[in-house]
A and B are shown apart, each in its own frame.
Chain A
């Protein structure tokens, strides 16, 4: 999975109507603005430390960074932008969106300063390991392509995700800051095969065309919370993206935008619907925040 995805992301921009899939920041500027507002709120209440930086894991085309930074700048934040991205193609796209950003290969390379971090649909692309009982399920060469060596009731773990979350938690635990993790997945660990492939906005058989389609797996948020707690940081409850965006006032923001641009009010309403409703992204997508114990608990969480 890791090899496939690193080839996949290194060779293309998978986003948008011509690509394979779309993410929330590409749906509407309001998503990135809500991220920016949530981070600005924490940063302001933490006393607006000037050494803090904006950081993003897997920033896609940089759309989220542009929208979030616009709100952060409006709140008086002048810190640098640091993007963690391994794909040269996507780095180039991000360079066009956020020209003065700095790029890093891994979370460990981020400067040792307070973070205003967001990771949207980052963890889902990290590799998972599947087990049937105690035996690991492997991909083997078979007649006419690839096949799994066994089937049955599958459980998934993701050491790569745990390591990423642990690195973020240790960073904010040691240097301060707050990290928003947004992804699709489930609140409690459960058995099940969630590995999926997406190509041209459709699900595809996972073992077809390795490296040519987007491979992801649902994020186990209970595992995320457990991995974060080990790093000396505080972890919030898990809430759905719909609850979170509503708590932050996406409705008020959409109304404000619609008042200024009446011709786009239908488009704005459908964007809000797509981001927050149960049938769309509002229920499947979850939000969790890892923050320094010294920093305020972010808005919308218990």
Chain B
């Protein structure tokens, strides 16, 4: 019965998608790597558009340097975050595996922290406003999130809960019998691509180009954190808690991912609401000698 019910849903292998975009000899170029590259390059291109508007916290030269530090931060932070947060025991036993980036495994939060540290380093070195650079970079991040979530889908990872919605997808799942077609599930990676990619971009685009938000330090990055947290909170409703956290979710009423989103929502809200007061004022610096 189960098989009959499930057969009406899209089976992932029928979509004809492969995690590998291009094979050149022994070298496989994965969509996942391309997503990072595309996210960084398109983000860079967009950042150059942003800084051409009046009010930029950095020059073109700073932006060029920034992309280098941000890319470094994304890769190192993302990888370290994955090693530390998700698989510490494994990597402690096999330290050489840490550098095997091509095996996949990157953490969004680690990437964010790495990028942030890159910005802080540049701002400190060049005496720029670190918060305002965060504002500008936040506007550019949704590109990477969009491509990254699409890559998650192609990789058949981070899927949603079981469901019977017409657009449900059956992924190939690892069972005790090996790789087999699983139950129909929410393609939550695609929902996230839309929310964290398209919707988040549209919100920040509107705030940057149509309002005075970029003149209020912390407002754009606050909005980014707030909406990202909000979307993650919502998406968790159609995700299953990790095996080891089922009891925790039942005891607290919310998934671990939702509890982790709460500080983001609150912190983002705080940054947004206090942004107006945060701007630097120019004091009358005429000197005190002359009195006319």
- Which residues on A are within 8 Å of B, measured CB to CB? 28-30, 33-34, 36-37, 40-41, 44-47, 49, 63, 67, 70-71, 74-75, 114, 176, 248-249, 252-253, 256-257, 259-261, 264, 268, 292, 294-297, 299
Contacts and interface: CB of A to CB of B under 8 A. Distances in A.
Interface in B113-152: none
Contacts of B281: 41, 249, 299
Given A44-B282, A70-B287, 15 more contacts: A28-B292, A29-B292, A34-B284, A37-B285, A46-B54, A47-B55, A70-B290, A71-B284, A71-B285, A249-B284, A252-B283, A257-B288, A295-B55, A296-B55, A296-B215
B53 A294 contact: yes
A166 B284 CA distance: 30
A33 B67 CA distance: 40
Contacts of B288: 256-257, 259-261
A37 B54 contact: no
A44 B281 CA distance: 10
Contact of B282 (A41, A67, A268): A41
A29 B290 contact: yes
B252 interface: no
Given A41-B282, A299-B281, A74 B54 contact: no
Nearest to B56: A47
Contact of B291 (A34, A36, A44, A261): A261
B109 interface: no
B212 interface: yes
8 contacts: A41-B282, A44-B282, A45-B280, A46-B55, A47-B54, A176-B54, A260-B291, A297-B212
Contacts of B279: 45
Nearest to B132: A45
Interface string B45-59: 000000001111100
Nearest to A52: B54
B289 interface: yes
Interface in B250-287: 279-287
Contacts of A34: 284
Contact of B284 (A37, A47, A114, A296): A37
Contacts of A33: 284, 286
B292 A249 contact: no
Contacts of A46: 54-55
B282 to A, nearest CB: 4
Contacts of A252: 283
B286 A295 contact: no
A260 B290 CA distance: 9
A28 to B, nearest CB: 7
A-side binding surface: helix, strand, loop or mixed? helix
Contacts, number: 77
B212 A296 contact: yes
B278 to A, nearest CB: 12
B53 A74 contact: no
B52 to A, nearest CB: 10
Nearest to A37: B284
A256 B287 CA distance: 9
A34 B279 CA distance: 18
Contact of B289 (A28, A74, A260, A294): A260
A233 to B, nearest CB: 13
Contacts of A114: 54
Interface centre among A45, A71, A253, A259 (most CB of B within 10 A): A45
Contact of A40 (B282, B289, B292): B282
A292 B215 CA distance: 13
Contacts of A257: 288, 291
Interface in B191-216: 212, 215
A29 B105 CA distance: 64
- Residue with the highest number of chain A CB atoms closer than 10 Å, among B284, B288, B292: B284
A268 B291 CA distance: 9
A37 B215 contact: no
Contact of A67 (B54, B55, B285, B292): B292
Interface string B4-42: 000000000000000000000000000000000000000
Contacts of A294: 53-55
A37 B212 contact: no
B215 A45 contact: yes
B217 to A, nearest CB: 10
A116 to B, nearest CB: 12
Given A40-B282, A44-B282, A297-B212, A74 B287 contact: yes
B49 to A, nearest CB: 13
A44 B279 CA distance: 11
Contacts of B292: 28-29, 63, 67
